[in-house]
């Protein structure tokens, strides 16, 4: 069984992969098609995972999968790409950086998790760090893009906390749960995309490569890792890992696109990374008390009392 530290490091791979979303959107996808991008990122990946796992929800898990799919995938992807198309990547990333604070606040009433001073300070410092990494004085602001970015952060925070609260049905692994949510979110997006944006345009080889990357590596694989981590880590703790996404985006821009990194950006990266570490729970061991870091997590309330929503 993976230890907590190894689980944390593995879960961190997901936001590191998500850091490439804005670059791929700008460089490879057709312009002004945010809903198409969201749909093609979610639906094909969800259908492939459903076919691979051959596990469907039962009972109340149909509506739970629909709710989680809407929050974590469908609505979130739509708002994410609207923000990505209407705002510079830096502004959108800063708006997304408030997600750990929102998740920490929701974890109190929904999970009974105590939010300590360290977690709040880490969340606030993380927003500052991300701002130093990505904001530019020439960044343009768009009201709809800002609202989309904030609403997207709220959706993802709510979805993360509810994923933690509801857990998974007995015998269902994170891969199947990921497929449920991606398929539900993609099916929610499909009619909206067709109604608002019409039929897809003719796609180039670069467009297809961009969509394929987002669907496979950036979504199916990354969300499988993410949801597995959500089941093992505190909600506020896992939400802080989202701060790694803009750091990853900046490093990718430097390594692949030849963008320079300033001293201020390096300082912001240090603050964001430090905030991620600061916000993690401390391992507690005492005489006569076994270290439970390597043990399987306690089953969420939903698995023992399925009547509660």
Give the tens place of pLDDT for each residue, 131-158: 787 766 555 667 888 898 889 989 999 9
What are the residues facing 286 on neighbouring strands? 289
Give the tens place of pLDDT for each residue, 231-263: 888 877 888 888 888 888 778 777 776 667 788
Confidence of residue 28 (pLDDT cuts 50, 70, 90): very high
Calculate Rg over the CA atoms of the chain.
19
Whether the Cβ atoms of residue 268 and residue 131 lie closer than 8 Å to each other: yes
pLDDT at 306 over 50: no
Which ranges of 135-173 does DSSP label H, i.e. alpha helix?
143-166
Q: Looking at residues 18-43, what average pLDDT do you find?
A: 89
Sequence-ordered list of residues with C-beta below 8 angstroms from that of 185, at least 6 positions apart, any chain = 42, 43, 46, 69, 70, 72, 73, 74, 75, 76, 77
Confidence of residue 300 (pLDDT cuts 50, 70, 90): very low
pLDDT for 57 equals: 96
Structure tokens at 215: 């669907």
pLDDT for 189 equals: 96
- What does the DSSP assignment read for 107-118? HHHHH-----HH
Average pLDDT of the chain, as a whole number? 82
Give the tens place of pLDDT for each residue, 178-223: 999 999 999 999 999 999 999 999 999 999 999 999 999 999 999 9
What is d(CA 198, CA 180) in angstroms, rounded to the nearest whole number? 26
Give the tens place of pLDDT for each residue, 72-120: 999 999 998 888 777 765 666 777 778 888 888 888 888 887 767 777 8
């Amino acid at each position: 069984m993976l230890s907590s530290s190894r689980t944390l490091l593995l879960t961190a791979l997901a936001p590191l992969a998500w850091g490439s979303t804005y670059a791929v959107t700008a460089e490879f996808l057709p312009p002004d098609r945010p809903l198409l991008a969201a749909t093609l990122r979610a639906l094909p990946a969800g259908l492939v995972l459903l076919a691979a796992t051959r596990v469907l929800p039962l009972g109340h898990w149909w509506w739970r999968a629909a709710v989680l799919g809407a929050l974590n995938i469908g609505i979130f992807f739509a708002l994410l790409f609207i923000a990505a198309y209407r705002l510079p990547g830096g502004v959108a990333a800063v708006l997304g950086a408030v997600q750990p604070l929102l998740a920490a606040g929701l974890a109190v009433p929904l999970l009974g998790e105590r939010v300590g001073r360290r977690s709040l300070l880490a969340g606030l410092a993380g927003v500052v760090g991300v701002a130093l990494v990505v904001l530019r004085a020439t960044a343009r602001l768009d009201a709809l893009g800002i609202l989309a970015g904030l609403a997207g952060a709220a959706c993802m925070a709510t979805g993360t906390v509810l994923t933690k609260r509801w857990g998974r049905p007995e015998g269902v692994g994170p891969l199947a749960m990921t497929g449920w949510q991606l398929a539900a979110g993609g099916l929610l997006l499909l009619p909206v995309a067709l109604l608002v944006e019409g039929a897809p345009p003719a796609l180039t080889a670069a467009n297809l490569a961009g969509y394929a990357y987002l669907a496979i590596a950036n979504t199916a694989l990354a969300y499988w890792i993410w949801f597995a981590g959500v089941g093992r880590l505190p909600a506020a703790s896992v939400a802080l890992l989202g701060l790694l996404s803009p750091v990853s985006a900046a490093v990718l821009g430097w390594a692949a696109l030849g963008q320079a990194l300033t001293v201020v950006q390096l300082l912001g990266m240090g603050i964001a990374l430090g905030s991620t570490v600061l916000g993690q729970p401390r391992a507690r061991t005492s005489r006569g008390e076994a270290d439970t870091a390597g043990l399987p997590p306690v089953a969420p309330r939903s698995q023992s009392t399925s009547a509660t929503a």
